[in-house]
Structure 1
Amino acid sequence: RSHSSKRTKAPKPSHSHFYLHEAMSKVGSSLYTRLHGIFKASPIATVKPTKPKSQIKSKKFVNKAKESSASTASGGDGVESSNVAKKTKSTDLTKKVEKFKRSCESESFRQVHGLYSAFIRRLREAKKFSVIDEVLQHQKKYEDIKSENFVIRMMLLYGYSGMAEHAHKLFDEMPELNCERTIKSFNALLSAYVNSRKVEEAMKVFKELPETLGMTPDIVTYNTMIKALCRKGSMEDILSILEEIEKNGIEPDMITFNTLLEEFYRRDLFAEGDRIWDLMKSKNLAPNIRSYNSRVRGLTRKKKFTDGINLMDVMKTEGISPDVHTYNAFITGYRGDENLEEALKWYNEMKEKGLIPDAVTYCLLIPLVCKKGDLDRAVEISEEAIKRKVLSRPNMFKPVIERLTSEGKIRKAKQLKKDGKLQSYNRYLPDVSTGKKKISSSPAASSPVEADDEESA
């Protein structure tokens, strides 16, 4: 590895080193015994539930009354101008919504999920929830509404928009719409609640509806609930779900185990994660790239970079090649230390290996490069992302645009902003105004990017 020569590489451990820890804590041993019992039909030990970390209440936003007063004091012209701008944005939005509805008249258009997802995402970012409902309700006029898969798409879009109750209402309406309702649409309803971060409601639906509707939960149902409970941080509930899986004679699959691995390694429970790993292998399920990436992320979060490098060597002996998410894990770790040199080494090695950086890669690097004051490099990386046609995230290029603006390089900033928009979801549909303020001349933000798991995971 081009940049490993500068490190003192640890002796290559035995293959089993990564999967077993010699010392077992009482809690870890008990947890393993219980998990082992679930999947091996042996007596189950009692383990105390792991208490989730205390939730830290977010600070309320500062009241903007002063700003409003200042705006009013500046004169009626400012207020009038503001009202005109709002009216213009509202008119533009209405036109875009109507254009989307007209596009929906085409059967081929309705078959492309990405078009719906892109438009709804823009509306969600703009917090236009009533418009989201309007657009999705409009779909009921088409024959596609009799297709369970089409309705599932709508339910998932509601879920991604934090509108699980709307998804539930649609689920209840399916018989009236002459649409078959199976465990697939029930699983979509669960996902809508989980993606809306409404875990308690998901639990209630999971416990009550299947019996009422005469449906039998499948492994997708249980995997969805495990994902929900991992977010909740309730180890006892997770174990209860696993017991129910075994009790009902359902075999856990790779998604089951990978979800558990991601959770255990994320919470720094390496001993327990490695035991889950062994249980997975005992089921004749070979760890895949997602399994390894979960462990790599766990190691790099703890700054155990040498162990992460060694694990990559193990992956290769198993015939599994590191992917962009593997490299992003190292970039994330070094970004946390503001170690630009190492982050760039992993970024360059990724490209040398023929891997294409994704939106997460650029969202990690661009703010760090800007913060370190290397504006030319930040522009270069941004232009590379645009050239590679990487689907940009909201504000992905904001740090470098702000830095260019603050240094008076307005023309370059405008060009980058224009090119960046072409790489956004506008490649599918016109932009939907979010009503955000114009670019400021303040220094680039340094807050970390929240990358999704295997986007990140």
Structure 2
Amino acid sequence: MYPGTLGQLTFDESYKSLLVTQTPNSTKVENPEQHQWSSISNQKMSKASAGVQRIFTIPKPKQPQPQPKPATFPVSIKELANEPDPEKLANTFKQQAAVSVSFRNRHNIYDFTIARLALAKRFSLIEDILESHKDFKEISHEGFAIRIISLYGKAGMFDHARKLFDELPQLDCVRTVKSFNALLKAGVECKRFDEMCTMFRELPSELSITLNRVSFNTIIHALCARGLLDEGLLMLDELKNKGLSPDVITFNTLLDAFYREKGFHGGERIWAIMVAHNVAPITRSYNLRLQAMVDAGELANAVAFFDSFKKDGLKPDVNTFNALIKGLCDLGDVAEAKKWYDRLLDSEETPNRITFSTLVPRFCDCGDYELAFDLSKKMFNRQIVVDEALLQLVVDGLVKQSMVDEAEELVELGKSNSYVQYSLMMPTNDKLPENGDHSV
């Protein structure tokens, strides 16, 4: 409202409308300029005065429609995913973060957005988003700062992660081994292994930070990633010197590296050390050992080792089944691989992307499009992103087998699912695959 206006009427027009003489049958508006004020009784003056008060208080005049403001409720991942413009995506994200504490607490939406911008190589937009978080009061909490450091690491922006870590004291955030470990992890994700090793040796004493087991596990990971497996193994001695003991994560990191780089017998050396430290292996440990058997061509031993899971109180997971399925497929024994796929379905585990990429080409080669269709639907139901070319292969094969309804269902799922859009097409006759031609 502007002074001197009331809705669509001017102030003077509104005031004129107050002076109303009401009778049971009519309502007459008088012109105040022609009215003789001296002839108005005190009672009418009182009524007019009351009318003035009412008109300016009840009802309230209509206000101009406000401009739309950013929603104060968090947007969904789907809404952000549907925004094709990276700059608009970043602006929407910043607006939401600025007005909603609950939005700032949604880790998944942060992970998704930063990953998407990193994939598009829009690092300046990532910097713009994350640097703005220094203005929020939560930045003085180490846990919040750790999230930002970690996001920089996931985006491959280690220098920004290090800069934020160095700035934390100026942001009233006390640095402990937790934020230091987050910085080390960012170094692993950015493959800045040399700098990590330097930080590991120098920063703790400079900052009066006491390293913990997580710190050592992270540096062991870095050393193994650099191919320095023996140096990683020597860290067990440093752990002991610090009064710390290795855990199953320590040994799984070493097992993964030694089985992969030094073969089955090299990994068995680490397995023996793990047993000597009285560290109980977990399902991942068993999976690493089983995978090493498969890689060594000892598939029969791997199948026999599968039975030891239950005997030792462990439950095979989808990765256990995938290792055996892939090993059998590589040997060309698709029939046996199908049996293990059936065992996977009978268990409480569910197929994943690796299961799909391993089996779908084999199912198509065998002409078993019903199984390929069923596995494809499972991927949609679980919102697992898979290779579009493999999905198209299934669609083409279904049409060729006259399973048109199933093919159309997959095409529709590719368009209508809420997490990623696939450009699947119903094939024409001249684009149908020939028998045995299932290359992707």
- Settle same-fold status: TM greater than 0.5: yes
Q: Does 1:417 align with 2:414?
A: yes
Moved over 4 A (4+): 370-376, 405-413, 436-447
Q: 2-side partners of 1:182 and 1:445: how far apart? A: 55
Query: Over aligned residues, Cα RMSD in angstroms?
Result: 3.1
Residue 248 (structure 1) shift: 2.2
445 and 249 in structure 1: CA distance in 2 versus 1, 3 angstrom threshold: farther
Separation in 2, partners of 1:438, 1:319? 44
- Superposed counterparts of 1:312-331, under 5 Å: 312-331=306-325
Residues 319-352 of structure 1 deviation map (CA, whole Å, 9 limit, x = unaligned) = 1121112112212323444543333322221111
Distance (Å, rounded) in 2 between the aligned partners of 1:126 and 1:340? 39
- The offset of 1:284, in angstroms, is 2.5
Larger RCO (CA within 8 A; separation ≥ 6): 1
- 2:360–2:390 contact (8 Å) kept in structure 1: yes
Higher alpha-carbon deviation: 187-196 or 101-110: 101-110
Alignment of 1:53-452 (within 5 A): 92-104=85-97, 105-337=99-331, 339-370=333-364, 374-387=368-381, 390-393=382-385, 395-401=386-392, 404=395, 414-419=411-416, 421-424=417-420
| TM-score, scaled to structure 2 | 0.70
Q: Contact 1:366–1:399 (CA<8 Å) still a contact in 2?
A: yes
| Match runs of 1:11-90 below 5 Å | none
Kindly indicate whether the alpha-carbon contact (under 8 Å) linking 2:324 and 2:337 is maintained by their aligned counterparts in 1. Answer: yes
> How far 1:136 moved relative to its partner?
1.6
In structure 2, C-alpha distance between the alignment counterparts of 1:288 and 1:111, rounded to whole Å: 32
Name the CA distance, whole Å, in 2 between partners of 1:337 and 1:121: 37
Give the direction of change, closer, same or farther, for the CA distance of 1:152–1:298 in structure 2 (3 Å limit): same
Shift of 1:202: 1.5
The structure with more radius of gyration: 2
Q: CA deviation at 1:227?
A: 0.9
Displacement of 1:437: 10
Partner of 2:47: none
% identical aligned pairs: 36
Shift of 1:121: 1.9
Residue 119 of structure 1: how far off its partner (Å): 1.8
Q: What CA distance in whole angstroms lies between the structure 1 residues aligned with 2:236 and 2:304? A: 32
Post-superposition Cα deviations, 1:225-267, rounded to whole Å, max 9, x if no partner, equal 1111111111232133223222222211111111111222223
Name the CA distance, whole Å, in 1 between partners of 2:394 and 2:373. 10
Residue type of the alignment partner of 2:91: E
Q: Provide Cα deviations, 1:85-116, integer angstroms capped at 9, x if missing partner.
A: xxxx9973222222222332322222221221
Question: Which residues of structure 1 form unaligned runs of 5+?
Answer: 1-88, 425-430, 448-457
* Distance change >3 Å, CA 333–CA 197, structure 1 → 2: farther
Alpha-carbon shift at residue 192 of structure 1 (Å):
0.5
Identify unmatched segments of 5+ residues in structure 2.
1-81
**In 2, Cα distance between the equivalents of 1:374 and 1:201?**
52
3-state SS of paired residue (1:175):
helix
The 3-state SS of whatever aligns with 1:384 is helix
Q: State the 1:191 CA deviation.
A: 0.6
Q: Which residue of 2 aligns with 1:43?
A: none
Report the AA paired with residue 228 of structure 1.
Answer: A
2:334 and 2:134 map into 1 onto residues whose CA distance is 51
Q: Which deviations, in whole Å up to 9, do the C-alpha atoms of 1:22-61 show, x marking residues without a partner?
A: xxxxxxxxxxxxxxxxxxxxxxxxxxxxxxxxxxxxxxxx
